[in-house]
Amino acid sequence: MINGHTEIIAHIGYPTHSFKSPQIYNPYFRSIGENSVVVPLACEAQDYPQFLRAIFALRNIRGALVTMPHKMTTLNLVDVASPAAMVAGACNAVKKGPDGRLLGDMFDGEGFSRALLRKGHPIEGSKVLIVGCGGVGSAIAAALAAHRPAVLHLHDRQSASAHALAQRLQTYFPATRVEISNPDPSGMHTVINASPLGMNPDDPLPLDVQRLAPQTLVGDVVMAQTLTPLLAAAQQRGCPIQIGTDMLFEQIPVYLAYFGYPTTDAQTLRQLAQLEG
């Protein structure tokens, strides 16, 4: 029951049709008797800078979840950004500090790496291909770099994004080998689609699945559907997969702590979630 005491977590992005967070957070809040609600808010890029400041003028806002296409923009809108956000070049969590300043953090990468490790999939010493070097791809690259992979291969249709990410990684993780490459998955231990390709039915695949080895784990951050075309094709080749919501479930406990709520584990969140499709 939403009432005059309800606190809001804004989930801001555009478009909002693939948002899963309200179906995960809100059942959890009900289960613990927390009078809070996650609300999806569709805000286009040109309106976002003004909107983010305006929404934090509300007295009953607890924080904001930020998703595409605003994560990279958010880094320049907050007053203080965490080291994780600085490395990633993006923020996906914003809250107001006691002094009124906006604080930004980034949890996508931690969620993705936690999901890999929970599956028993090694990161240290592995070869990884990341397709898409925007906010989520940068966050994943930063989190994986902390686990000392043998090499991170980066690809983005906007080559400047890949080169900028490589520079940040080499600044903060100088021992990590980083290469700008084409999206060739052959010889990789882990292949990650961190691009928007797969959100729409007519999107092309982000890479040539015929070059995937059966032992390569293929992950996708797209949540428009559980089994994206890329993941379906990878499964047909015998590859283990990681679906987009795996990253989401693993980062939510970190988000909850960040916003000052009682936290839980990914398994509990999955049991309570009311996901469709």
Active site residues: 71
Q: What Å distances lie between residue 95 and 9, 92, 189, 244, CA to CA?
A: 9, 10, 36, 24
Residues in CB range of 146: below 8 A, 6 or more apart: 113, 173
Q: What Å distances lie between residue 7 and 3, 35, 65, 92, 213, CA to CA?
A: 9, 6, 14, 19, 48
Token readout for 97 is: 């500090």
Strand order in the sheet with 36-42: 36-42, 7-13, 61-66, 93-96, 102-105, 80-81
- Contact present, 115 and 242 (Cβ < 8 Å): yes
Query: Alpha-carbon distance 63 to 45, whole Å?
Result: 19
Q: What Å distances lie between residue 126 and 1, 32, 133, 190, CA to CA?
A: 48, 40, 19, 8
Give Cα 4 distance to the centre of its chain.
32
Give Cα 200 distance to the centre of its chain.
18
Query: Alpha-carbon distance 135 to 116, whole Å?
Result: 19
Q: Which helix (H) or strand (E) holds 128?
A: strand 127-131
**146: helix, strand or coil:** coil
**97: helix, strand or coil:** coil
